[in-house]
Structure 1
Amino acid sequence: MGVKTVSNEFSSSIPPKWLFKALILESHNLLPKLAPQTIKRSRFKFVKYKIDEIDENNCTCRYSLIDGDMLGDKLETIKYEVKFEASGEGSVCKSSSHYHTKGDIELKDEDIQAGKDKALAAYKVVEDHLAANPSVCA
């Protein structure tokens, strides 16, 4: 089994605790309401996650995708690490994704980009919602 790691960083004008609450703790409630068309068409709706560690005080979470269509025939699991940190007037979201492949399959960057684009689109939808409705996850 091989492992491919991809790191990302996103800036936001939203405070880290709000983003953490919305994107980690309340995503199962918010995303179906904010982007129902994306959830219905997305492979994200057929997934099982396991929370490995969550720290609300430090706005960090480690979780694993353990089953679902997103894994396809190339991946055993995907492990995620997410941290929201204060930055100026807002925050920075730092994330790492560890793709554990089946056998000696080599994962291509374009295979990862589609999932990254969907995750970023969800992030932006939630961020825009929080900006327009600051009391939602305050």
Structure 2
Amino acid sequence: MGVFTFENEVTSVVPPTKFFKAFILNADNLYPKIIPNQPQTEIVEGDGGAGTIKKITFNYGGELKTIKHRLDVVDEASLTYKYTVLEGDLISETIDQIVKEIKVTEGPDGGSILKSTSIYHTKGDNQLDEGKLKSGEEKGLALLKAAEAYLLANPAEYN
């Protein structure tokens, strides 16, 4: 099994606690406001905290149809969120498991720095298609920027 790690760091003008609350803790409520044909999220098991298993169904007709992931860490004090993708279209003949950790810290001028680490566990000695991974990361960045724009346009929400 191979292990491939990708790290990304993005800054936002939104304060860390507000960003974490909106983009991470309340994502199921925020996404429908910023994504056309928003995905449907269903809690399969758990109460929304660590150990919860969620199934996400995408409605926009792309390659990605479903993902099932387990929340491993939901820590509001340290603004850390970690989950493991267990099933779905991201898991393939090549990829066995994906672990994603997001940490939000204080950024310049009262904003945030979002640090994202994605760890891909491959089956056997399979390699990853870095072009596809980069495309996925770019979609995640676009989602983050859409969330930031929404929060700036609606400052009273998620206080």
Shorter-chain TM-score above 0.5: yes
Aligned counterparts, 1:67-106, within 5 A: 67-88=87-108, 89-106=110-127
Q: Which runs of 4+ in 1 moved over 3 A?
A: 42-45
Distance change (3 Å), C-alpha of 1:83 and 1:43: farther
Whole-angstrom distance in 1 between the partners of 2:63 and 2:85: 12
> Residue 111 in 1 paired to residue 132 in 2?
yes
The 3-state SS of whatever aligns with 1:114 is helix
Moved more, 122-131 or 17-26: 17-26
Q: Which amino acid aligns with 1:100?
A: H
What percent of counterpart residues are identical? Answer: 38
After TM superposition, the score normalised by the length of structure 2 is 0.80
Whole-angstrom distance in 2 between the partners of 1:45 and 1:35: 15
| Counterpart residue number, 1:60 | 80
Distance change (3 Å), C-alpha of 1:38 and 1:85: same
Tell which has more relative contact order, 1 or 2 (C-alpha 8 A, sep 6+): 1
| Counterpart residue number, 1:15 | 15
| Counterpart residue number, 2:46 | none
Moved more, 105-114 or 124-133: 105-114
Aligned residues: 138
Q: Which amino acid aligns with 2:126?
A: I
Whole-angstrom distance in 2 between the partners of 1:4 and 1:113: 13
Q: Which amino acid aligns with 2:144?
A: Y
Q: Which amino acid aligns with 2:74?
A: I
